[in-house]
Amino acid sequence: MDSSPAEGGESDDADAEFAGFVRSRSAALHRTAYLMTGNSDAAQDVVQTALTRIYLAWPRRAFWENRDAYARKVVTNVVLSEGARRWRGEQPTGELPEPPADGRSDDVTLLAERDALRRALMALPVRQRTAVVLRHYVDLSEADTAATMDCPLNTVKSLTARGLAALRTHVEGARS
């Protein structure tokens, strides 16, 4: 029995097309999932689950308006559904080392700021974090974010505003 999503002679073509899609989009999907989960391993799990769901839906791809938007929506749905039920376990919180004496303190400062922003992002509730990532990292419009998150436009506006306010508070608190 053929286990591919397409039937008949187009099976090989559909599989090759899906493989090309995975090669071209998996890195971007992983980056988005990483920002939503804050963990590279969790992001990889999210992307694998999303790609499995996309593969199963691949025969219906002709009905999708935009494959990238569909893939982002699947990743978002996996993050939101997993975030609601997955225990996150312990999160290490080690301090960054002292700046090296060889003049690389700017690199250390940049890494420290990036790490502080990532920690602040991870402190947000999953829906706020998802809205902020989709709006400001993926650069989706409010309407596209609402469609991706499957929620009303005003909910996206509220989630984004509250998320950004919490990030500002966290960053300003870290500076003082």
Answer positive or negative: Cα dihedral of 132, 135, 139, 144: positive
**What confidence tens digit (pLDDT) does each residue in 131-165 have?**
999 999 899 999 999 999 999 999 999 999 999 99
Structural domain includes residue 1? no
State pLDDT tens for residues 49-106: 999 999 999 988 888 889 999 999 999 999 998 765 554 554 555 555 555 555 555 6
Model confidence pLDDT, tens digit, residues 94-122: 555 555 555 555 677 778 788 888 888 99
| Residue 113 maps to a domain | yes
Number of domains in the chain: 2
Q: Which domain holds residue 144?
A: 105-175
Q: Which of 85, 119, 150 is the last residue of a domain?
A: 85
Tell me if 61 is assigned to some domain.
yes
Q: The domain that contains 152 carries what CATH number?
A: 1.10.10.10
Closest CA to 29 of 16, 54, 52, 46: 46
- CATH number for the domain including 16? 1.10.1740
* Domain annotation covers residue 92: no
In a domain, 159, yes or no: yes
d(CA 39, CA 54): 22
d(CA 38, CA 45): 12
Tens-place pLDDT, residues 7-45: 445 678 888 999 999 999 999 999 999 999 888 999 999
Does pTM surpass 0.75? Answer: no
On whether both 111 and 56 belong to a single domain, the answer is: no
CA angle 60, 126, 153 (to 5 degrees): 65
Distance between CA 126 and CA 133 in Å, rounded? 10
Distances (CA, A) of 141 to 28, 86, 130, 145: 18, 29, 13, 6
Residue 165 lies in a domain: yes
